[in-house]
Chain A
Amino acid sequence: MKEFFGNIYTWFESLFGKELSEHLWGYECETGTYLTNLYNQVGVMTLIISLLVAILFYYIINHPRFNRWWSWVIVLFINGLVNMLYAYQFVLSDFRAGKISDCLMYIRNEKSGEVVSQLIEEGNCLMFGYTNFIVATLFFIIISFIVKWKSPNAKHAPFL
């Protein structure tokens, strides 16, 4: 269960890179151990946001004009976008604050210690954002089909 969210995100690990993935698992180079699993933080927040958006759509807005598949798709997209920005900012703040362990960030010259190459760039953070767009979309689809049935006016969106 502790690795539930991490296992989902690592389906897409090739998009944002193994090094960033290890950071999100909580790997700490100096101790060689996994500490705080950041995938859980991102995953739980994405799940909560997706749930709130679904509830907003089906029970708060709850308008017959939204009882159409394309209205639902628009909300699906907005949910994905919001979660994409959230995940991007989440890892970018670590990247810029220097919180990613050195062995995951750089390859260094073994004699001089100078950086030979950088393993994680801002582009990896952006790709993690895109990954969370995909994950949030999956969450929203699943949540929609769980919660929509009691909606007075929107339960037929996207279909059934």
Chain B
Amino acid sequence: MKKTYITLFLPIIILLFSACGRGKSHQTNAPSNDSTQVAITEKTAKPDINFYIENSGSMLGYINGVTEFEQILYNYLTDIEISQVANSLNLFYINEQTFRQPYDLKKYIGDVEPNSFASKNGTSDISDILANILSVTNDSTLSIFVSDCIFSPGKGISADKYLVNQQIEVKTNTANYLNKNKLAITIYQFNSKFNGRYYNRVDAPTTINDVRPFYVWILGNPKHVAELQRQIPDSKFIGEGVQHKASLSSVTDEIKYSILPTSGNFKLDKINPLHIIEAQKSTGNRSDKNKFTFIINADFSPYSLDKEYLHNANNYTIDNRDYSISLSDSRQNGYTTSIKLTTEQLQPTSIGVNLLINMPQWVNDMNDEEGLDIMQEGAMAKTFGIKYLIGGLYDAFTQKSNIYTTLKVNIDTK
């Protein structure tokens, strides 16, 4: 009897221990995102970076004394140098013309003197400067432009008409560029001490010593713009940092997104995991009882949009009115945004979640429509005509479509 049970047990035990431990058979076949990211970075050639600071008379107040303007830009340029994100870094002052500067970050901006900074010409047309910069921006050259972005129509010119015309010029120049090139633009707004002359829309000066906004624009191939921001994220700007941000991109590559299988009462098709099957409403005592819920994790990093934009439900539409949306950071590596969709009307359907190209609300909030009296309440923190300048860009990018991307999901019920 004992022999019988030993005969029974022994081969089974041998088989069991040989089966335990799965060795390498379950190693994922998919390459890790990190190794893929490194491979892409290595294969994409580094761009040349042209750094332009507008040096018209209206900018002098930003370099009078030790200001956040100087510190933020000096630190940013140093970060660009250290990160080795650029093949070369070229420094310029710009107004109606472009003036190349010797490569000395401290003299260029860190410790710049008004005499060496100010242009003898004094004025600048922003839309012309942008057109000039775009003309030298291409797949191998990324441009960074720093300015107060104030329009200067001058005396005797209708400001309203001037601003609309400027918006159309910006739109035209940008649209023409987009017809031939891929383009991403990121605009940061910062604050800095300003001690000097402020010129209003009719070029009348007012001496002020207060805090004023200035803008840093990044323009170039979307991959280079995204890589620059990956290497030097917003959090690296010193002082009070980025106050506001606007981003536009003509990226058309497919966005990575997936459905979190544990986010609701359903299963996923194993062949096509963007197809929900056996969907049912939740039961139990949770807040989403009698509702159907699921979460999409999406990677919107190619668009360089900030969290404020990505978490705003007004920047999305769903082509199924039965569903509501809520947004948060994704907790999953390789994804930026978690999109939770909920409905009480569960039925088989296809859903498209559209990420819209919307001008951020701050652009309207920061716009000074009058541009006459800087001492008027609220005017100090605003920029004359900024919504027309940035609005022209959005008009260009939304010529063909106002949607960045659509996330599509099919749902079948149990």
- Interfacial residues, chain A to chain B (CB-CB below 8 A): 2-3, 6, 18-19, 22, 25-38, 41, 45, 48-49, 52-53, 56-57, 60-61, 63, 65-66, 75, 78-79, 82, 85-86, 89-90, 93-94, 99, 102-104, 107-111, 113, 119
Could you show 7 A-B contacts with beta carbons less than 8 Å apart?
A: A30-B30, A33-B273, A35-B28, A56-B12, A103-B262, A110-B329, A110-B338
Complex contacts, B12 vs chain A, CB 8 Å: 49, 52-53, 56, 78-79, 82
Q: Are B8 and A61 in contact (CB under 8 A)?
A: yes
Q: Are A99 and B331 in contact (CB under 8 A)?
A: no
Could you say which of A6, A56, A90, A104 contacts B8, with CB atoms under 8 Å apart? A56
Q: Are B297 and A32 in contact (CB under 8 A)?
A: yes
The residue on A at minimum CB distance from B271 is A34
Given contacts A52-B15, A78-B8, A103-B262, contact A94 B22 (CB under 8 A): yes
Given contacts A49-B15, A102-B333, A103-B262, contact A93 B21 (CB under 8 A): yes
Complex contacts, B287 vs chain A, CB 8 Å: none
Chain B: how many interface residues by the 8 Å CB criterion? 41
Complex contacts, B13 vs chain A, CB 8 Å: 82
Give per-residue flags for B248-287: 1 if the beta carbon is below 8 A from chain A beta carbons, else 0.
0000000011111110000010110100000000000000
Q: Are B22 and A110 in contact (CB under 8 A)?
A: no
Complex contacts, A111 vs chain B, CB 8 Å: 329
Q: Are B7 and A107 in contact (CB under 8 A)?
A: no
Give per-residue flags for B326-352: 1 if the beta carbon is below 8 A from chain A beta carbons, else 0.
001111111000100000000000000
Q: Are B270 and A34 in contact (CB under 8 A)?
A: yes
Q: Which 4 A-B pairs have the closest CB atoms?
A: A32-B258, A108-B331, A110-B329, A89-B20
The residue on B at minimum CB distance from A116 is B331
Given contacts A52-B11, A103-B262, A107-B331, contact A33 B30 (CB under 8 A): yes
Complex contacts, B259 vs chain A, CB 8 Å: 32
* B115 contacts the other chain (CB 8 A): no
Q: Are A86 and B19 in contact (CB under 8 A)?
A: yes
Q: How far is the CA of A62 from the CA of B268 in the complex (A)?
A: 46
Chain B: minimal CB distance from A148 (Å): 16
Q: Are A103 and B25 in contact (CB under 8 A)?
A: no
Complex contacts, A82 vs chain B, CB 8 Å: 12-13, 16
Q: Are A30 and B261 in contact (CB under 8 A)?
A: no
* B400 contacts the other chain (CB 8 A): no
Q: Are B257 and A32 in contact (CB under 8 A)?
A: yes
Q: How far is the CA of A33 from the CA of B274 in the complex (A)?
A: 9
Q: How far is the CA of A7 from the CA of B258 in the complex (A)?
A: 23
Q: Are A31 and B8 in contact (CB under 8 A)?
A: no
Chain B: minimal CB distance from A110 (Å): 4
10 more CB-based (< 8 A) A-B contacts, given A19-B262, A28-B30: A30-B33, A49-B19, A57-B8, A61-B4, A61-B7, A65-B1, A66-B4, A79-B12, A86-B19, A93-B20
Complex contacts, B268 vs chain A, CB 8 Å: 27, 34
Complex contacts, B256 vs chain A, CB 8 Å: 32
Q: Are B329 and A103 in contact (CB under 8 A)?
A: no
Q: Are B333 and A30 in contact (CB under 8 A)?
A: yes
Which of chain B's residues 16-34 have a Cβ closer than 8 Å to chain A? 16, 19-22, 25-26, 28-30, 32-33
Complex contacts, A45 vs chain B, CB 8 Å: 19
The residue on A at minimum CB distance from B21 is A93
Q: Are A18 and B262 in contact (CB under 8 A)?
A: yes
Chain B: minimal CB distance from A10 (Å): 8
Q: Are A30 and B332 in contact (CB under 8 A)?
A: yes
The residue on A at minimum CB distance from B328 is A110
Chain A: minimal CB distance from B286 (Å): 14
Q: How far is the CA of A50 from the CA of B245 in the complex (A)?
A: 64
